[in-house]
């Protein structure tokens, strides 16, 4: 009876905690105190429309949004999720709107309501700077072509790939797509002209070899039938800043007068590697701090789950064993990425609630790690000879006392190496949550690369930081393990 009560009280507490945190968001607080604050999703790896510079999110889209919000006197909170995650966020009503160089197409109009167009774009093909073999689409036959998912460049390339006989290689952000071509894994890439032009200005070793194809204009998007007042404010503000000349000034700040086949004379001088490193270090260290914070918070809750379900797995109660086994099978069987996407996008879309990004990421990491911790605890307890429990019971100790005083102290020594391994795994798994927009070390590196396109240097720094931190934690944990075994 006591075990049953403990089990149901634990489940009730977790449900209560989940509902309370899920129903809270910064926007809810702002609405009650200062009026509504809109949650706006964006990409931030789509320079010059949205990217990170000097620790701040900037670009044509974000400057336009700031100018329109000021003109229309509304507040917003920017959610740098990435293009695909932002799309899902709007569809699940986690976000009120989205601005991310999003092309207005007939297909998307079935799911989203768009603002008036704020930029007329077009698609071009780019190849390696030193490549003189490809001059037209015909030269792509039998080759690989890099594209960014969800973009106008992807749609155009997909529409002609069968005609010209090339294969598409999709990527989630522009910097990875460019690097694919620069290193020669793919022959070319298709991208919106202003985006590729800005990248070339920044020193990316590519060149444009085709005329600009007519593309769809960009628009601000909200979920179908939702947030119409925000859409009206955006349209009104866009009209006003165009009339005042502020719109033209914002665009020229990033693009100048660059046209296909021309190089901008306004490009800033390239930074040295040391300057790039010094500029990146503060952002990467901040991302590392967030990674460690998410890791330890997730492991704290994972141990709670592990203790509850681990003891249930070794409980004499068949019902408790069945519930614990179900927990392990479910959360160990679902890939962490899928679990994160489901918690952050699937649950809000089904229940009509908003779950803060940090809560969704920590919950996914905790449930995933908790399933493994459950098995660690179960294995550690069952590794102790059953005769010791029987001997303790024969001396008059209760089951609970025998477990706490006799079995658990010995089992901990067996569990420590596995706990250390789980710590390292969870730390690395935080990078998977960047897919739903969590800004940690890996995502911080992506944001820097989107700005300076120095993927080899930046990702090398990220890898070294992971290696150093994991090595230090492993050595500390090994020291704890040795002391535990001596004790």
- Residue 10 forms part of a structural domain: no
Whether residues 394 and 474 fall in one domain? yes
Determine the structural domain holding residue 409 and report its residue range: 274-486
Q: Work out the angle between the directed axes of helices 273-313 and 408-429 (0-180°, nearest 10).
A: 140
372, 424 in Cβ contact below 8 A?
Answer: no
Phi/psi class of residue 172: alpha, beta or left (left: φ > 0; alpha: ψ in -120 to 50)? alpha
- Residue 25 forms part of a structural domain: no
Whether residues 478 and 370 fall in one domain? yes
The pTM for the full model equals 0.61
Q: Which one, of 35, 100, 40, lies nearest residue 73 by Cα?
A: 35
pLDDT at 64: 93
- Residue 20 forms part of a structural domain: no
Whether residues 54 and 141 fall in one domain? no
Please state, in angstroms and as integers, the Cα–Cα distance from residue 354 to each residue in 26, 41, 217, following that order.
Answer: 11, 14, 30
pLDDT at 81: 78
- The CATH number for 365's domain is 1.10.3720.10
> How many domains in the chain?
3
Nearest 5°: the CA angle 293, 299, 304 is 135
- Residue 58 forms part of a structural domain: yes
Whether residues 178 and 77 fall in one domain? no
Cα gap 335→338, rounded to integer Å: 5
pLDDT at 388: 66
Cα gap 418→427, rounded to integer Å: 14
Whether residues 280 and 184 fall in one domain? no
Whether residues 439 and 330 fall in one domain? yes
pLDDT at 238: 93
- Of 214, 247, 282, the position where a domain reaches its end is 214
DSSP state of 316: S
- Residue 318 forms part of a structural domain: yes
Whether residues 338 and 447 fall in one domain? yes
pLDDT (tens digit, 9 = 90+) per residue, 330-374?
A: 888 889 888 888 888 778 777 777 788 788 888 999 999 988 888
* Helix residue spans in 352-454 (DSSP H): 357-382, 386-394, 399-402, 408-429, 441-452
Residues of the chain with pLDDT under 50: 1-34, 258-267
Whether residues 315 and 400 fall in one domain? yes
pLDDT at 484: 61
Whether residues 344 and 446 fall in one domain? yes
- Residue 5 forms part of a structural domain: no
- The CATH number for 205's domain is 3.40.190.10
Whether residues 312 and 441 fall in one domain? yes
- Residue 478 forms part of a structural domain: yes
Whether residues 331 and 408 fall in one domain? yes
- Residue 76 forms part of a structural domain: yes
Whether residues 440 and 462 fall in one domain? yes
């Amino acid at each position: 009876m006591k075990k049953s009560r403990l089990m149901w009280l634990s489940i009730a507490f977790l449900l209560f905690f989940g509902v309370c945190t899920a129903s809270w968001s910064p926007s809810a607080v702002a609405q009650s105190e200062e009026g509504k604050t809109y949650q706006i999703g964006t990409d931030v790896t789509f320079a010059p429309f949205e990217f990170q510079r000097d620790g701040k999110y900037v670009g044509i889209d974000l400057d336009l949004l700031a100018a329109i919000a000021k003109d229309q006197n509304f507040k917003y909170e920017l959610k740098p999720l990435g293009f695909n995650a932002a799309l899902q966020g709007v569809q699940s009503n986690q976000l009120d709107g989205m601005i991310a160089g999003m092309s207005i197409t007939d297909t998307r109009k079935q799911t989203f309501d768009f603002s008036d167009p704020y930029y007329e774009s077009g698609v071009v093909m780019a190849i390696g700077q030193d490549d003189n073999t490809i001059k037209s689409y015909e030269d792509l036959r039998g080759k690989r072509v890099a594209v960014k998912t969800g973009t106008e460049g992807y749609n155009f390339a997909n529409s002609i790939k069968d005609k010209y006989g090339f294969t598409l290689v999709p990527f989630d952000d522009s910097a990875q797509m460019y690097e694919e071509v620069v290193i020669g894994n793919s022959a070319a890439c298709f991208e919106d002209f202003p985006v590729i032009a800005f990248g070339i200005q920044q020193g990316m070793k590519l060149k444009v070899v085709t005329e600009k194809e007519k593309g769809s204009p960009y628009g601000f998007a909200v979920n179908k039938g939702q947030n119409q007042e925000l859409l009206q404010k955006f349209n009104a503000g866009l009209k006003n800043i165009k009339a005042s000349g502020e719109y033209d000034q914002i665009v020229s700040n990033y693009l100048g007068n660059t046209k296909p086949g021309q190089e901008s004379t306004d490009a800033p001088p390239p930074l040295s590697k040391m300057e790039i490193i010094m500029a990146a270090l503060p952002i990467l260290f901040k991302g590392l701090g967030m990674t460690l914070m998410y890791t330890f918070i997730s492991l704290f809750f994972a141990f709670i789950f592990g203790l509850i379900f681990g003891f249930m797995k070794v409980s004499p109660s068949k019902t408790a064993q069945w519930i614990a086994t179900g927990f392990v099978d479910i959360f160990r069987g679902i890939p962490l990425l899928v679990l994160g996407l489901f918690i952050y996008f699937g649950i809000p879309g089904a229940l009509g609630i908003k779950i803060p990004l940090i809560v969704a990421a920590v919950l996914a990491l905790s449930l995933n790690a908790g399933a493994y911790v459950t098995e660690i605890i179960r294995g550690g307890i069952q590794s102790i000879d059953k005769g010791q429990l029987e001997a303790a019971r024969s001396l008059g100790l209760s089951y609970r006392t025998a477990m706490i005083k006799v079995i658990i102290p010995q089992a901990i020594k067996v569990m420590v190496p596995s706990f250390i391994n789980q710590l390292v795994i969870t730390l690395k798994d935080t990078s998977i949550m960047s897919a739903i927009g969590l800004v940690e070390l890996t995502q911080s590196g992506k944001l820097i690369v989107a700005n300076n396109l120095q993927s080899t240097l930046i990702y090398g720094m990220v890898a070294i930081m992971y290696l150093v931190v994991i090595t230090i934690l492993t050595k500390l944990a090994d020291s704890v393990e040795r002391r535990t075994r001596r004790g």
